[in-house]
Structure 1
Amino acid sequence: MVPVAAAVSAGAALVFALRAGGALAAAIPGLPDPGPVTTWAMPLVRLLADALATLTVGMLVTAAFLLPGDGPSVSPHGWLLLRRAGALSAGWAVAALALIVLTVSDLLGVPPQRLGAATVNSFASSISQGRALLLQAGLALTVAALARVGVSRGLAATAAVLALIAVAPPAFTGHAAGAGNHQIAVSSLVVHVLAAVLWIGGLAALLMVRRSRHLADAASRYSRLALGCFAAVAVSGLTNAAVRLGTLDQLWQTRYGWLVGGKLVALVILGAVGVAHRSRALPALRAGRRGAFARLAAGELVVFATTLGLAVALSRSPTPVAGNPADADPLTELLGFPMPAAPTPGNLLGQPLPDLFFLTLTACGAAGYLAGVRRLRRAGHRWPIARTASWLAGLLLLAAFTGLGVARYAYALFSVHMAQHMVLSMLVPILLVGGAPITLALRALRRPADPQVRGAREWLLLTLHSRPTKLLTHPLVALGVYTGSLFGLYFSDLLGTLMRSHLGHLAMLVHFVVSGYLLLWVLIGVDPGRPRVPHPILVLIHLAAMMAHGFFGLVLMQTTTVIAPDWYTAVHPAWAPSLLVDQNLGAGIAWAFGEIPAAVVMILLVRQWIRADQREQARLDRAADRAEATAVTAPLRPR
């Protein structure tokens, strides 16, 4: 009954919102028209794909993380969810492939039955929207296969992560990616979509296991997840709406604003239902009364379905800030913001270009770390202030170089981009590694009361001892990832490709931080899980990294060919020096920048080496003292 009510509610909301938002306006005479099949099928298939994706993610997350397992395997209810998720994920892949055809039809104004295979293949392989949908379909099929081949909790967790990743690609090519301020719009939309999928999917999955004796514990864990998702949905939704509406009065003066208002009302209702869950339904569920939870969850799911229909209609409706394409500035369309003035210290630190992904990452990283320190202190344990300061300083530096004016100029100037690269891959990782976050997490995270439940601490330990982690933390592999990315990024066409896509640019910045953290964690980290490598070998690895870094800077300085010419020629400012002059400046930054961080790492390495020798010597002295004491006090044995 609940699925039928949710489907009817979502469909009715979609049709109403499409008409109210102007997405079904009559075709203009003389312009290509894809016909009624595409006009109606495209939003309906989009709604179906979103629903299937949401249910897939919710079932996999519930099976892997919310329900207790049966040793290394998922529980019987988890097994059922895995099988259902596999079938739904296969349907999700089919819907994504159908969206490719319908999107081509919509863009070209040609009915789908008149499209040729070559046209569809070209769209799927060369246009960002097509590639995103094709990637989504491929990931969905992979999830479907993983959900069918085994029953281990690790496999279910892997499938859940892949399903979450598969949700994101279309968000990078929709409304948010097509106008100014797309850094804010795209990142906020991705956060919004991922949080909503977790929130809705988890609730739907719990309704499927309402007869399980573990429902009360699973619902309590879901409640904490839902609270975080509610906050993320609210903040990211308001941020994205502000970008799309432009001004506050557009909220009540435009049809698009009316639909946004409808989503805000739904969010308030869902927040009130969440409060009722925490205050009434969960206590009743722990007492064995499941009726209140089932009724509230069913009603909440219907509201969620209505909101999903509104969201799909919003993606098809014209936005108030779309403007006239003929008047659009091509440079603004490409960068996502107007070209700034010549850089000054004030402009580099001011003129912020916030990215909600990194803001969310840094805010959650700081809040989680401080919460762990607070829990340790409440338990009577001390945590070094220097580690806390190091971690917070690393996050602050990360937020500054991805959200202040530096990030804005890094799009247009190779030299500023290189400075951003060096800071993110060297200074930020040194500070983050110094915070010893894994040690703090292992000490602060609590073990679940049910031994069959894997909490965050158990998943962290499994990750630390997994084969991929052991491979990546091998000193030579970590060195290869760090140094290989330097040459692979700048001496190929990869840089220009990544700069043209917000997803690619975001992935590049994340790689800078992760590759630097990986190498420095192997070299100077103090967390458990690191490979035990003799300090002389670590010193040699560090020297090799310094030599590779210096060689990279030297080669770059001698290069007379412009790197990523298509990108930097298109965005080259009138006030900037020539491309080669700016590139040589960036090469000089790369060559000289590593000296101070490398010296700091070497000092820390030598210090750890000395302390390790002192500890080893103290251990040997204690062993010798024990042996001498044993020899003196041992009774003489007759021969």
Structure 2
Amino acid sequence: MISLAASIATSGPLVGAMTTISKFIGVTSSFFLVGTLLAAGFLLTDNHGKLEPAALQLRIVALWSSAVWAISSLINIIFTLANILGSSIGSALDPTTIRSFITQITLGQYLFFQFLVGLFAFAVSMRLKKVGGVILLLILVVLGIIAPIFQSHSASSGSHALAIGSLAIHVIALSLWVGGVFGLGILDSKDRAIATPRFSQLALWAAIAVVGSGTANAWARLNFLSAWHSTYALVVVAKTLLTVSLIFIGYLHRKNLSSKNPLSIDWQKFARLIMVELIIMIGALALGAWLSSNKPPSPAGDPKFSAAITVAGLPMPGTPTLSRLLLLYNPDALFLGFLVLAVALYSKGVLILKRRGDKWPVGRSAAFVVAIIAIDYATSGGFGVYAHFSFSYHMIAHMILGMIAPIGLVLSAPITLALRTLPQSRDHQERGVRGTLVAALHSKLAGFWVNPVVALLIFDGSLFALYFTSLFGGMMQSHTGHLVMDVHFVLSGFLFFHVIIGVDPNPKRAPYIARIVTLFAAMSIHAFFSIAVMSSTTLLDGGYFAQLKAPWISDLLADQHLGGAIGWAMGEIPILLALIATFIQWVRDDSKEAKRIDKNTERLAAMGQPDELAEYNTYLAQLAERDRNGKSI
């Protein structure tokens, strides 16, 4: 009889099965880790930002979950490598082969990053004492979970941005939903009663995201009729049915919680329902692990090679025309998902204020709408599509994301809206979400970021670091790099304009003269950058655009020079408008201060008391009188 080790060494199907099993264990343990961190940092109460004893006890669960995740991630690297090579496990265990895989191959790099995140979580889990640290680790863990997605089978789909983005959102939402149920399952009845209402709200949002992203991903992968006759499609349908059943159980949870007083709920029955939910979730995770280990069906026939799809991830668009720029749309699901979430949260905040009888300026809502449309258009619309194929259109998208959209976001005052609508803490000791936001705004780190010099260096200094190094060409080559680049444009622009013309709270707001000097410096630096691009004699993209061979671009260097000119024109106008707005704000603030002083003077005069200015003038008059009389002061 052949031993298991020998079978693994020689059997391709068995290696594939072991790959699926290692992925399932890794996904389950990582979701368990997410749930533990979610319970400790968000679902349970805290003590002025510090973890309560119940949350501290969860650290041991996080420790073991991260250990299992790290080990399974390491094993998954070996089995994945063996699958790719079509060789035995012994060949995949060769140190040189492994080193090449995790340092030179993108998938190997992402898998190794996932392993490092699990290892880091294992190292710091028992050291967690504050809510902030738990939340930061939770974010890092989620990034580690979704990292391999960017080089998964979805990455080879023709609907590149839709497939990858929808799958990333699907996994993020699923990790919060499934992980949250895991987290509730390990709490005692008292803590579960505290955590369940808050998780119920989160689970509703997560369930909507799971269904929406799952539908989009299925459409991207199975967008032809014959695909629905495959085993892959049957597994997708089975997973969908399990997800629907989970949503129904979630509905029962919400109905049970909303219709009864928490003290009258049968928590033992509630716990049994959670166990059923966990079993179904484990089944759904197993199917998900199988899907991630198998390639979706491909259309019949030999597909023609397309440099555009291979390099940029989408088909080559036709010659740019006004109609194509306005109507062409290739959804970047990850960006689109976060934009939808932002719109939902902003709308909910405005609705809360309206129900409370408070008003929210229409102009701020309009600015928010403009910003969202601009971001979506620059990432998924016509300019977003052509930005993948032309430097000049890339620069247009860059200016929209870095200059136009951030101004709208800043003027929409999202932080102010959050502070006015976020729920208060559940007891007098809890800092809560709103308290955490307030603490973050007043932290030393926030004070560092809102320094005008720092904001300027990030806003304009990053232009040179990106475009005049190999970084630009490297980031354009991958979906992850392109995503990071676009996010950086939005965030750096938001930070800069928040410092200059922001209406949100800023504990260390710079004087107006400092803001004006910063704006003039930004204009000068931006002009210098644009001139440098316009006068460049070599391509800055590292050969990226040359690979695509866009038929409507005859001279790549001329297109690059055009991009520099566009960047200059589109960059100077928003900065000039911000300069005008800063002067207006300065005049208005001076006017308000003058009115305040006048009102104070009138109030003191009505009371028969001299105001500060009158007292100071009297003091000066006395000094002058003494000088005339020859007396010493």
Q: TM-score scaled to structure 1, two decimals?
A: 0.90
Q: Determine helix, strand or coil for the equivalent of 1:510.
A: helix
> Deviations along 1:394-432, whole A, 9 cap, x unmatched?
111111111112111110100000000011100101111
Q: Determine helix, strand or coil for the equivalent of 1:390.
A: helix
The one of 289, 294, 309 equivalent to 1:332 is 309
Taking the TM superposition and a 5 Å limit, the aligned residue runs for 1:285-300 are: 285-300=262-277
- The percentage of counterpart residues that share the same residue type is 35
The one of 179, 192, 199 equivalent to 2:170 is 192
> Deviations along 1:85-117, whole A, 9 cap, x unmatched?
123113212222222222211111221223320
> Deviations along 1:490-525, whole A, 9 cap, x unmatched?
101111111111111111101000000000000000
> Deviations along 1:422-474, whole A, 9 cap, x unmatched?
11100101111111111111112231342344443222212212232221111
In 2, distance between residues paired with 1:357 and 1:46?
23
How far did 1:33 drift? 6.6
Q: In the alignment, residue 338 of structure 2 is paired with which amino acid?
A: L
Taking the TM superposition and a 5 Å limit, the aligned residue runs for 1:458-477 are: 458-477=435-454
The one of 270, 281, 294 equivalent to 2:246 is 270
Taking the TM superposition and a 5 Å limit, the aligned residue runs for 1:169-248 are: 169-211=147-189, 213-247=190-224
Q: In the alignment, residue 371 of structure 2 is paired with which amino acid?
A: G
Q: Determine helix, strand or coil for the equivalent of 1:594.
A: helix
Query: Does residue 600 in structure 1 map to residue 571 in structure 2?
Result: no
How far did 1:195 drift? 0.4
The one of 597, 608, 612 equivalent to 1:620 is 597
Q: 1:256 to 1:40 in 2, by over 3 A?
A: closer
Taking the TM superposition and a 5 Å limit, the aligned residue runs for 1:285-434 are: 285-321=262-298, 327-434=304-411
How far did 1:573 drift? 0.7
The one of 235, 257, 260 equivalent to 2:233 is 257
In 2, distance between residues paired with 1:103 and 1:448?
46
- Unaligned segments of structure 2, at least 5 residues: 1-6, 612-633
Q: 1:324 to 1:132 in 2, by over 3 A?
A: farther
Q: 1:36 to 1:378 in 2, by over 3 A?
A: closer
In 2, distance between residues paired with 1:159 and 1:385?
38
Taking the TM superposition and a 5 Å limit, the aligned residue runs for 1:478-493 are: 478-493=455-470
Q: Contact conserved, 2:45 with 2:426, CA < 8 A, in 1?
A: no
How far did 1:164 drift? 1.4
How far did 1:215 drift? 1.8
Q: Determine helix, strand or coil for the equivalent of 1:168.
A: helix
Q: In the alignment, residue 157 of structure 1 is paired with which amino acid?
A: I
In 1, distance between residues paired with 2:62 and 2:345?
31
How far did 1:67 drift? 0.3
In 2, distance between residues paired with 1:353 and 1:125?
32
In 2, distance between residues paired with 1:376 and 1:280?
28
- Unaligned segments of structure 1, at least 5 residues: 1-25, 635-639
Taking the TM superposition and a 5 Å limit, the aligned residue runs for 1:92-171 are: 92-115=69-92, 116-171=94-149
In 2, distance between residues paired with 1:68 and 1:530?
27
The one of 436, 449, 470 equivalent to 2:413 is 436
Q: In the alignment, residue 198 of structure 1 is paired with which amino acid?
A: L
> Deviations along 1:264-314, whole A, 9 cap, x unmatched?
111111111111112236637541521221111100110000000101111
Query: Does residue 279 in structure 1 map to residue 255 in structure 2?
Result: yes
Q: Contact conserved, 1:263 with 1:310, CA < 8 A, in 2?
A: yes
> Deviations along 1:202-221, whole A, 9 cap, x unmatched?
1111111133x232231011
Q: Contact conserved, 1:376 with 1:383, CA < 8 A, in 2?
A: yes
Q: In the alignment, residue 216 of structure 1 is paired with which amino acid?
A: A
Q: Determine helix, strand or coil for the equivalent of 1:338.
A: coil
The one of 423, 434, 437 equivalent to 1:457 is 434
Corresponding pairs, count: 603
Q: In the alignment, residue 110 of structure 1 is paired with which amino acid?
A: S
Give the structure with higher Rg (CA). 2
Q: 1:179 to 1:377 in 2, by over 3 A?
A: closer
231-240 or 70-79: which moved more? 70-79
Q: In the alignment, residue 150 of structure 2 is paired with which amino acid?
A: F
Q: RMSD between aligned alpha carbons? A: 2.1
In 1, distance between residues paired with 2:140 and 2:552?
44
> Deviations along 1:367-391, whole A, 9 cap, x unmatched?
2222222221222222211111111
Q: Determine helix, strand or coil for the equivalent of 1:209.
A: coil
> Deviations along 1:324-350, whole A, 9 cap, x unmatched?
677443432222222111100111122
Q: Contact conserved, 1:184 with 1:240, CA < 8 A, in 2?
A: yes
240-249 or 100-109: which moved more? 240-249
The one of 562, 566, 571 equivalent to 2:543 is 566
How far did 1:166 drift? 1.4
Instruction: Look up the match of 2:631.
Output: none
The one of 48, 63, 70 equivalent to 2:25 is 48
In 2, distance between residues paired with 1:506 and 1:393?
21
How far did 1:76 drift? 1.7
Q: Determine helix, strand or coil for the equivalent of 1:214.
A: helix
